[in-house]
Amino acid sequence: MSRIGRFLSHRSLQTTIVWFGIAGLVLVVALGAAFSWRGAATYLTRDADRRLGDIAQRTAALYSLYLRERRAELENLAGSPTIVAATEASNRESARRNLAGMDGAALERMFGSSRSMQIDAAAERYLRSVEDRSDFVALYLTDANGFTGIATKRLADFGHGDDAWWQYAMLNGSFMSEPRLDSVSGALAIEIAVAVVAPATERRIGVLSAIFDLQRLARLVAASDAHTGAAVEIVDVQGRLIIGQDSSHVLMVLPIADRIPRTDTVSFATVQGTRGLERLATARISPGRYWVMVQQPVSAAYASVRGAGRIILFGAILLVVIFTGSLLGFGNWLHRQVTEPVQEMAGAAERVAHGDISDAVTFHEGAGEVAHLSTALHGMLDALRGLVGAIRAAADDSAAMAAEIGASTQEMSASRLAMSRMRLASADAVRTVSACWFA
């Protein structure tokens, strides 16, 4: 017999059901909890990544919108009549002075104090007013030869005709620089330049250039999702920090630069950062060679996963406790309604097998099929008692009849003896008579 068979043969129905029920319950709850946790962990992990990705995409859209607005603002400014008139005046003044025919050193000596022709005081005041109410920190206007006609701040050079950005703006209509430390303001800035077009001829007659501080944009980026505790930063294609929480690392290559995913779509990675394992989400800023990077410690990003795990574990333990109590209660009920009556009936059967069929053989009836079995056993015992009583009565009658038969036999034996004696006496009498007769 196997171990399971021996175990079942020596265990009561209550013990078997309760222990196997508890074992099965623990197994089912454990499997259910494991599958539930796996499903919840997968969903919550994807949801956490989706949130980080949404932050990255939203910040990238904010960055792109901010730059487009600044460019549109500068284009509108370049198309204003005041700026167009000032540009035309700069071209006339540079032509009158024949500045294009002078070498650079001479020009720098001539305009060394202001680095500007200061061609139109009204236009200069207008640009300063724009600077005061906008995010621009410097505005300057150059003519068709690259000579500075108006500047709100003193520049490093007077002539810009040989500068690549100026040539690009004149050729293509606009230019946007990479983030850099501005030599004029000393702040991390981006320079935007747009061509000034004469309305009458549609000819590009100069360039309006603006420098705006990235601090304003940095504040917008930092506030894009402050409630999650995620760090939102902007990096370039080389992995340099452009906007971030630690300003001391601006324009420096980050230690995790080689592990930052820089693709056209939202990408994710887990890296070892300064705060331990961190989850990254990156989204490309269009157009440009920049990416928004959102990073958050794995412990914070996947806190909901751990919370769900604790809830599932608590629920599983609670289910085990509740169902274990239910199984124990059911086992007690089963013991009272099935096991105990059956054990009593088994004991009664054993006593009957040993000849004890007295009225002292009693047991509980139980319920259901057990009640039917106990009723049948009661009936069987009653019938057995009746049969035994009848057998005993018949035995008593047989004993009485045997006694009567024995008495009758004794009387018959006495009668036969008396008759034998009478026959002997008669024979003696006949012999005596005969002897006397013949004598």
Residue type, 411: E
pLDDT at 105 over 90: no
Mean predicted confidence (pLDDT) in 215-225: 67
- The angle formed by the CA atoms of residues 81, 83 and 88, to the nearest 5 degrees, is 95
pLDDT of residue 386: 77
The alpha carbon of 195 is separated from its chain's Cα centroid by a whole number of angstroms, namely: 54
**Are residues 85 and 209 located together in one domain of the fold?**
yes
Adjacent-strand bridge partners of 191: 211
pLDDT at 276 over 60: yes
Q: Which residue has the higher pLDDT, 66 or 249?
A: 66
CB atoms within 10 A of CB 109: 11
Adjacent-strand bridge partners of 234: 243, 292
**Are residues 205 and 130 located together in one domain of the fold?**
yes
In a domain, 59, yes or no: no
pLDDT of residue 195: 95
pLDDT of residue 208: 95
Mean predicted confidence (pLDDT) in 160-188: 83
| Domain end marker among 218, 240, 269 | 218
pLDDT at 433 over 70: no
Close Cβ partners of 63 (under 8 Å, ≥ 6 residues apart): 217, 221, 234, 285, 290, 292
- Rg of the chain over all Cα atoms, to the nearest angstrom: 58
Phi, psi of 179 (to 5 degrees): -60, 135
User: Is residue 222 very low, low, confident or very high in pLDDT (cuts 50, 70, 90)?
Assistant: low
pLDDT of residue 142: 93
**Are residues 13 and 98 located together in one domain of the fold?**
no
pLDDT of residue 83: 93
In a domain, 377, yes or no: yes
The per-type count for the chain, helices as H runs and strands as E runs, is 11, 11
**Residue ranges of E strands in 144-262:** 148-151, 174-176, 180-181, 188-197, 204-213, 231-236, 241-243
**Are residues 242 and 265 located together in one domain of the fold?**
yes
Rounded Cα distance, 223 and 226, in Å: 5
Residue type, 10: H
**Are residues 83 and 200 located together in one domain of the fold?**
yes
Q: Which residue has the higher pLDDT, 150 or 393?
A: 150
Mean predicted confidence (pLDDT) in 319-323: 81
In a domain, 51, yes or no: no
The upper half-sphere exposure of residue 430, i.e. CA atoms within 13 Å in the direction of its Cβ, equals 6
Contact yes or no for 135/213 (Cβ under 8 A): yes
Distance, first Cα to last Cα, the chain: 106
Chain segment 231-245, per-residue pLDDT in tens: 888 888 888 888 877
Contact yes or no for 203/197 (Cβ under 8 A): yes
In a domain, 112, yes or no: yes
Mean predicted confidence (pLDDT) in 309-327: 81
pLDDT of residue 232: 86
User: Is residue 318 very low, low, confident or very high in pLDDT (cuts 50, 70, 90)?
Assistant: confident
DSSP string, 66-127: HHHHHHHHHHHHHTSHHHHHHHHHHHHHHHHTTGGGS-HHHHHHHTTTTSS----HHHHHHH
Count: domains in the chain = 4
Cis peptide before 81, with omega less than 30 degrees from 0?
Answer: no
pLDDT of residue 194: 95
User: Is residue 84 very low, low, confident or very high in pLDDT (cuts 50, 70, 90)?
Assistant: very high
In a domain, 355, yes or no: no
**Are residues 330 and 426 located together in one domain of the fold?**
no
User: Is residue 363 very low, low, confident or very high in pLDDT (cuts 50, 70, 90)?
Assistant: low
Percent of the chain with pLDDT over 90: 16
Chain segment 135-166, per-residue pLDDT in tens: 888 899 999 999 999 998 888 788 888 899 99
Contact yes or no for 244/250 (Cβ under 8 A): yes
pLDDT at 394 over 60: yes
User: Is residue 7 very low, low, confident or very high in pLDDT (cuts 50, 70, 90)?
Assistant: very low
**Are residues 113 and 197 located together in one domain of the fold?**
yes
In a domain, 278, yes or no: yes
Q: Which residue has the higher pLDDT, 321 or 221?
A: 321
pLDDT at 197 over 90: yes
Cα torsion 342, 347, 350, 356: sign = negative
Using alpha carbons, select from 260, 273, 282 the residue that is nearest to residue 300.
273
**Are residues 297 and 312 located together in one domain of the fold?**
no
User: Is residue 126 very low, low, confident or very high in pLDDT (cuts 50, 70, 90)?
Assistant: very high
CB atoms within 10 A of CB 168: 16
Dihedral, CA of residue 417, residue 418, residue 420 and residue 426, to nearest 10: 170
Percent of the chain with pLDDT over 70: 87
Poorest-confidence range of 64-78, 82-96, 377-391, 416-430? 416-430
In a domain, 169, yes or no: yes
Taking all residues of the chain, what is their mean pLDDT, rounded to a whole number?
A: 80
**Are residues 154 and 214 located together in one domain of the fold?**
yes
Rounded Cα distance, 192 and 214, in Å: 12
**Are residues 426 and 373 located together in one domain of the fold?**
yes
User: Is residue 1 very low, low, confident or very high in pLDDT (cuts 50, 70, 90)?
Assistant: very low
CATH at 228: 3.30.450.20
Q: Which residue range is the domain that position 103 belongs to?
A: 79-218
pLDDT at 86 over 90: yes
In a domain, 130, yes or no: yes
User: Is residue 204 very low, low, confident or very high in pLDDT (cuts 50, 70, 90)?
Assistant: very high
Mean predicted confidence (pLDDT) in 416-426: 73
**Are residues 258 and 299 located together in one domain of the fold?**
yes
pLDDT of residue 129: 92
**Are residues 203 and 255 located together in one domain of the fold?**
no
pLDDT at 409 over 80: no
pLDDT at 5 over 60: no
Poorest-confidence range of 93-97, 190-194, 331-335? 331-335
